[in-house]
Amino acid sequence: KQEVTQIPAALSVPEGENLVLNCSFTDSAIYNLQWFRQDPGKGLTSLLLIQSSQREQTSGRLNASLDKSSGRSTLYIAASQPGDSATYLCAVQGGSEKLVFGKGTKLTVNP
C-alpha cells in the first residue's frame, strides 16, 4: 500500500529565504506526482504535476523534482514571500488510479 510522507510537518522562515519541502513515497510504481497548495478553509490548488518519466517541473519561483527510484520529490521555493504561507501537499498517483496524499507541510513566511 502506497504511503506518502512529508517532512517537516511545519516550517517557519523569514521572507526572502529559499526553501525546500520534502516528499517521500514507498512504492516507486507511480504515474505522476503532484504538488498542491491549500490555504486555510479553502480547496486545493495544483502547483506542479510531474510525470513519472520527468525529472523536474518549474513554474515561476517553484521547482519540483522527482527521483522515482529513491521514492523522493522536493519542492523548491525561491525568494519566499508572506503570500506563500499555506499548507503544501504532495500526492502520488499509481496504477490503481487512486491519488494518495501526504499530510502536508505547513509553511509560514514571516515578513
Q: How far is the CB of 79 from another protein (least distance, A)?
A: 25
Q: Which of 11, 22, 27, 32: binder of another protein (CB under 8 A)?
A: 32
Q: Is 60 in the site for another protein (CB under 8 A)?
A: no
Exposure of 109 in the CB half-sphere (CA atoms within 13 A)? 18
Residues 6+ apart with CB under 8 A from 63: 56, 57, 75, 76, 78
Q: How far is the CB of 33 from another protein (least distance, A)?
A: 11
For the record, the C-alpha cell of 67 comes out as 527521483
C-beta of 66 vs 91, nearer to another protein: 91
Q: Contact region for another protein (CB under 8 A) — 14-22, 63-71, 73-81, 102-110?
A: 102-110
Can you give the binding site for another protein, defined by CB under 8 A? Answer: 31-32, 34, 36, 41-46, 49, 51, 89, 91, 93, 97-104
